[in-house]
Amino acid sequence: SQQGEEDPQALSIQEGENATMNCSYKTSINNLQWYRQNSGRGLVHLILIRSNEREKHSGRLRVTLDTSKKSSSLLITASRAADTASYFCATDAAAGNKLTFGGGTRVLVKP
Amino acid sequence: NAGVTQTPKFQVLKTGQSMTLQCAQDMNHNSMYWYRQDPGMGLRLIYYSASEGTTDKGEVPNGYNVSRLNKREFSLRLESAAPSQTSVYFCASLGQVGETQYFGPGTRLLVL
């Protein structure tokens, strides 16, 4: 079973627009992480947000975490064609340091 | 530092054949993980090793075995490959609990 469920499954936007994707999870967590995966490649870590944090920024990325709703969002501002990738949330559950991944959001940024 | 390395990059097996996927990390991390990723899906944990000398099952361990050879190396073995094991396999390592995992480039496995 997957801890994280992502929404939407796919997203198509024009270069310069913002992209928002959401992740919901089921159990309490230590932290939640977002990863990017380009087609056929490995995973690249983007941001880690701890359970006592509500918002975090890294460059054009903004992540929010609402533990009461068990949900997180990833916002990519001013998107570029190079942002085309799949984005995954992963939760580090309170019971251990194993990551459980969502199914991912496939983002296509059109030039 | 090379980070997390995996060999081979790509492998084709026939049903019933065996093989070992190798993973090594040079970051002196304690914990190591094996995941599989099926098309269009997220990663699922197969086995992990919280520290040298220990291994534990993840979400989908059936059909696999692992060995934590030393602190650097964590191998995944398929004793009798099945078409359902066609997937991309990722190894990862973790330095400290609560921090981010570092992933290898993956091994693409096709079982015919």
Q: Tell me: the pLDDT tens digits for B42-77?
A: 899 999 998 888 999 999 999 999 999 899 999 999
pLDDT-derived band at A96 (thresholds 50, 70, 90) equals low
User: What is the average per-residue pLDDT within A54-78?
Assistant: 97
User: What is the average per-residue pLDDT within B10-18?
Assistant: 97
Residue in B41, B58, B103 closest to A42 by CB: B103
* Angstroms from B83 CA to nearest CA on chain A: 20
Q: Tell me: the pLDDT tens digits for A2-30?
A: 566 888 999 999 999 999 999 999 988 88
Q: So what's the pLDDT on residue B100?
A: 86
Q: What totals of helices (H) and strands (E) does chain A contain, helices first?
A: 0, 11
Q: Check CB contact under 8 Å for B33 and A42.
A: no
Q: So what's the pLDDT on residue A1?
A: 46
Of A72, A75, A106, residue with least CA distance to A90:
A72
* Angstroms from A8 CA to nearest CA on chain B: 13
**Mapping DSSP to helix (H, G, I), strand (E, B) and coil, where does residue A70 land?**
coil
